[in-house]
Structure 1
């Protein structure tokens, strides 16, 4: 069965996007993720050991990382579209999301 040129282009573009998303965590910069977390997330979440002020109504980054409920893909999807939660939409780029996810995944109890 022959595919039209438009379908081939769309399929190729989709494959490139999937590969970039799947490989993004390899290139993620957790140090930048920490900077993003300290700037945007620390008002509500405990984002690092030793942090003194945060809300006790939301999980810490260590709890999120250790919960087993969020793998890299789930965290990335959630951060890309947090409209269904109490979190604000931070309008992070894909690379910022990858960096933040890499930082969150490094946190432990």
Structure 2
């Protein structure tokens, strides 16, 4: 079994803790702000929203979908694969906030 040198191990642990801290600190309220600013032109992102495309799922539909768990949503938002979905270049923290909001919109 190979041993990882101490400095590499410390860096790896720091990165893991940082990523865990970001997801634990996800703020659905900030996620809603991001959704209203960047996503509401196409998606219905909140109850009472009057505009949105009927050709894309609502955030409530995405939030209750078994296809998109937190990890799946995070990966998708980091690098959208849909031709009509723009690459928003969101930070990991913004993605965590947006995912927290989407998951909170489950009916």
| TM-score normalised per structure 2 | 0.85
Partners in 1 of 2:9 and 2:54 — Cα distance? 45
Aligned length: 106
5+ residue gaps, structure 2, are: none
Partners in 2 of 1:97 and 1:4 — Cα distance? 31
Secondary structure of 1:69's match? Answer: coil
CA RMSD in angstroms comes to 1.9
Shift in alpha-carbon separation, 1:39–1:12, aligned structure 2, 3 A: same
Partners in 2 of 1:4 and 1:19 — Cα distance? 18
Partners in 2 of 1:67 and 1:89 — Cα distance? 22
5+ residue gaps, structure 1, are: none
Q: Which has the higher helix share?
A: 1
